[in-house]
Amino acid sequence: MFKNLRNEARIFFWLHTAGPLLIKGPDQPGLDPLLPDMRFIRAWHNGREVPYIPGSSLKGVLRSRAEQVIRALAPDRMVIPDPFQRGRDDEMKDKPGDYRYYASDPVTQLFGQTYLAGRLRCADAFPVEDRPLVLNERNHVAINRITGATQGKALFNPEVVEEGTFAAEISLTNFAVWQLKLLGVLLQDLDDGFLLLGGSTTRGYGRVRVENAQVLVRDYRRHPPAEVLRGYEHDDTVPVAGCRYTNKGYCWEAAREGFEWLLTLNVDLAETLERLHRKQREVQQKWVNHGG
Amino acid sequence: MLRDKPYAFVPLLPVRPEDRREVMPHNRIDINRLTGRLVMELEVVTPLHIGSGSYRLNEGQVVRAFLRRDQVPVIPGSSLKGVVRGLAEAASRSCLAQPPGKPCQRLQAATPPGNRQPCSEKAACITCRLFGFVQGKKGYRGRVVFGEFTPCDETKWVVTELPPMEQPFKDYPRTRENRGCGNERLYYCQFYRVVGCGGPAHCPDCTKEEWLRWRDGLKGRLPAPAFRGCKFYLQGDPRQGNQPHEVISPGSRFQGEVTFHNLDREELALLCFALGLDGEIRLGLGYGKPAYFGTVRLGLREARWYTREYLPAKAVELDPVELARNYGCNDPDVARNVALLREILSGKHRGPAWGMEGY
Ligand SMILES: [Zn+2]
Ligand SMILES: [Zn+2]
């Protein structure tokens, strides 16, 4: 199925720390004893080693929030499998691509699974030039309840980003309109602190704000869209007032500021899940009836 | 309460099998449960020091630095979480997440039934369900998130001298059988069951010498040790010492948020109680509690429920302050601990001044 590129959305935004952020790098046992025992993850970028937010971290929290939202809204009979659940690979591996897509649950459709490439990608987010970047080492100790005193040595001393702004990008290829709306919901929860990034989140780490967002939509089909957003499917179109496309030669392109407008897209998420569930059962049924 | 001590103990409560429940999975927003945020203000009552682990040079003097984010003093979520969790443990039938000292044969039975059995995903006490737990390689992330508290307005630290704090749980007496068990006389003595010392309220009356004499005399029929409970420091007038620390002055205000996910009513009530939202509990934060430093008061500015356009609208008629006030009224043992915590932490019952006998 998704051999043809029909549409694409890219969301650029800044993740600005609103509290300490802790994303642990890979364990490096026996390295320099003067380094903190839990170093913030770093990578080479523009010739320097800098702290960054891996795309996989961002994608991971978005996925788990998407599961929480979808489970709250999905019809009872719809199964949203645990991403680590084994066994589906075997069920899916010999099936054609569009079966794998439509027979999958909505979370897998968007975020992917070993047997299915997701439509959503998160790029690594690197520090924005000329914005403050402050790192620091924090201490954690355990207090014993019976003695009221600190217990033993420090629990851990992580290196954290106290202040930083990271340029993030999420891209969706061949998206459905409901997926963009859901992404708006997730970004709102992230900006609002109901979704946190990195580790030790219940201890006050990982609060970020979503700033400076811009959504770029591209439509690769021949006819220009008019103040609408067109999903991959032909019947998946919603009006978006003021959304004007310009001709880029190889595609139509529109850009909009902010992510909040995604939340106002005229899509009923619960209804959509109901429809996806019907479709899911339909393709499974067809497969069984026709013996594959 | 112990006489002339700056602290008191709140008894550990037995944990019955029915007190442990399966944990609430993190995999959904449960619209039948409570999700939201408490927006709070924190007022410093006695000078507060939260260590950053580093030192600073102040007018030629090396001082312990207050934790800061960039240049702003902050109260980390981890500090608040620890203190609030401790209060929740004392005010409920909860497991003892961390017994003090090293594993010690003598203290195996020093806690009430069910208390020491670790919690699991299938059977977790209310505190572990709220704040999470680690069990071997597995664990459960709590459903309460403590944000970092930042000053409401320009807050500066001042340098104050604190007295040195002693490690309070040193083994005593230092016998082979008591190795790793800590200070028996203060933490788990039950001699009053068999000798006429007058009971816990009079324990400071028995001197170390008397106590050791009793102990020798009781050879062979020493009463089984039992922990007095969780230790809480009373509040009083801060005592000066000679160790310079950066502190935040009384009257300073901080603001921050506590976010909760998918709680039931009982869990939210315990959280609200342990935050001191009823106005009767002030928390002891940071360093120097034995010297009456770090008393703070939390107040609720606003409770915000998680509502979203795509979720079915739900009217929540719960008042967090009311929940805190009524917490524990359906369990007499819990109610007794709640009353005791209010007595110790309201600030009305002042701790003894320094230098008093037995302090
Ligand atoms: Zn427990
Ligand atoms: Zn005694």
List, for residues A205-238, the tens digit of each pLDDT value: 999 999 999 999 999 998 888 899 999 988 999 9
* Residues of A whose CB is below 8 A from B39: none
A95-A98-A102 Cα angle (round to 5): 100
Q: Tell me which range, A28-32, B212-216, B231-235, is most confidently predicted by mean pLDDT.
A: B231-235
Quick check: A138 contacting B, CB < 8 Å?
yes
Which chain A residues are closer than 8 Å to B70 by Cβ? 132, 134, 162-163
The number of C-beta contacts closer than 8 angstroms across A and B is 135
Stretch B321-345: mean pLDDT, rounded?
Answer: 96
Which one, of B302, B282, B242, lies nearest residue B48 by Cα?
B282
How does DSSP classify residue A213? E
Give how far A133 is from chain B: nearest CA, Å.
Answer: 10
Q: Report the alpha-carbon distance of residue B206 to residue B88 in Å, rounded.
A: 32
Map residue B301 onto helix, strand or coil: strand
Calculate how close chain A gets to B257, using CA atoms only, in Å.
Answer: 9
Q: Between A87 and A122, whose confidence is greater?
A: A122
Alpha-carbon span B340 to B343, nearest angstrom: 5
Q: Are A145 and B86 in contact (CB < 8 Å)?
A: yes
Question: Tokens 């630290």 — which residue?
Answer: B157
> How far B219 CA lies from chain A's nearest CA (Å)?
26
Distance (angstroms) between ligand 1 centre and the Cα of B229 equals: 16
| C-alpha to C-alpha distance for B218 and B178, rounded to whole angstroms | 15
In this prediction, residues A184-201 reach a mean pLDDT of 95
Average pLDDT over residues A55-72: 95
What is the pLDDT at residue B81?
A: 94
Shortest CA gap B329–chain A (Å):
24
Residues of chain B in contact with residue A196, where contact means CB-CB under 8 angstroms, are 145
**Token digits of residue B105:** 């044969």
Q: Which of A78, A182, A202, A205 to mutate to test the interface with B (most CBs of B within 10 A)?
A: A202
Residue A196, number of CB atoms within 10 A of its CB: 23
Q: Does A31 touch chain B (CB under 8 A)?
A: no
List, for residues B150-184, the tens digit of each pLDDT value: 999 988 789 999 888 776 667 777 877 777 777 88
3-state secondary structure of B262: strand
A31 burial class (0-12, 13-18, 19+ CB within 10 angstroms)?
exposed
Give alpha helix (H) positions in chain A: 55-73, 88-92, 97-102, 106-111, 177-191, 260-263, 269-289
What is the arithmetic mean of pLDDT over A183-204?
Answer: 94
- The whole-number average pLDDT for the span A240-263 is 92
pLDDT of residue B211: 83
What is the chain A residue with the closest CA to B130?
Answer: A202
Portion of chain A with pLDDT greater than 70, in percent: 91
Scanning B101-160 for CB atoms below 8 A from A yields: 131-132, 141-142, 144-148
| Interchain proximity B231–A145, CB inside 8 Å | yes
Q: Comparing B1-5, B252-256, B347-351, which segment has the lowest mean pLDDT?
A: B1-5
The amino acid at residue A119 is R
Q: Are B265 and B255 in contact (CB under 8 A)?
A: no
Compute the nearest-CA separation of A91 from chain B (Å): 24
Is the CB of B292 inside 8 Å of chain A's CB atoms? Answer: no
Contacts of A139 in chain B (CB under 8 A): 51-53
Three-class secondary structure of residue B20 per DSSP: coil
What is the predicted ipTM? 0.90
Q: Tell me if B27 and A71 make a contact (CB, 8 A cut-off).
A: yes
Chain A hits for B69, Cβ within 8 Å:
19-20, 134, 136, 162-163
Tell if the CB–CB gap between A202 and B233 is shorter than 8 Å.
no
| CA-based max dimension of chain B | 73
Q: What's the rounded mean pLDDT across residues B17-44?
A: 94
Task: Give me ligand 1 centre to Cα B230, in Å.
Answer: 15
pLDDT of residue A2 exceeding 70, the answer is no
Residues of A whose CB is below 8 A from B77: 19, 202-205
When scoring B89, B133, B310 by the number of chain A Cβ atoms within 10 A, the one with the most, hence best to mutate, is B310
Which residues make beta-bridge pairs with A135? Answer: A161
Say whether pLDDT at B336 is over 70. yes
**Residue whose structure tokens are 């050879």:** B219
Task: Report pLDDT for B156.
Answer: 79
pLDDT score for B359: 43
Q: Are B38 and B257 in contact (CB under 8 A)?
A: yes
In this complex, which of A20, A71, A144 lies closest to B100 when CB atoms are compared?
A144
Structure tokens at B222: 């020493």
Report the pLDDT value the prediction gives residue B177, as an integer from 0 to 100. Answer: 75
Within 8 A by CB and 6+ apart from A44, the residues are A50
Q: What is the dihedral of CA A159, A164, A165, A170, to 10 degrees?
A: 20
Task: Please count the helices (runs of H) and the strands (runs of E) in chain B.
Answer: 7, 16
Half-sphere exposure (Cβ direction) of B33: Cα atoms closer than 13 Å:
17
Q: Ligand 1: distance of its center to the CA of A15 in Å?
A: 35
* More confident of the two residues A276 and A142: A276
Testing the interface with B: which of A67, A147, A150 to mutate, by most B Cβ within 10 A?
A: A147
Q: How do beta strands B132-135 and B230-233 pair?
A: unpaired
- pLDDT of B314: 75
> Contact at 8 Å (CB) between A197 and A208?
yes
> Which residue from B27, B147, B229 is facing A68, i.e. has the nearest CB?
B27
> B240 with B25: CB under 8 angstroms?
no
Query: B187 CA to middle of ligand 2, Å?
Result: 11
Q: Positive or negative, the Cα torsion across B176, B181, B185, B191?
A: negative
For residue A245, give how far its alpha carbon lies from the nearest alpha carbon of chain B (Å): 28
Q: A185, B69: Cβ pair inside 8 Å?
A: no
Nearest alpha carbon to residue A126 among A76, A77, A81, A168 = A168
What is the CA A226 to chain-centroid distance, rounded?
A: 28
Q: What separation in angstroms does the CA of B220 have from each of A149, B214, B227?
A: 32, 12, 20
Which pLDDT score is estimated for A171?
97
Nearest to A203 among B69, B89, B146 (CB): B146
What span, in angstroms and rounded, lies between the C-alpha atoms of A69 and A190? 13
A138-155 residue pLDDT tens: 887 777 777 777 766 556
Intra-chain end-to-end CA distance of chain B, in Å: 13
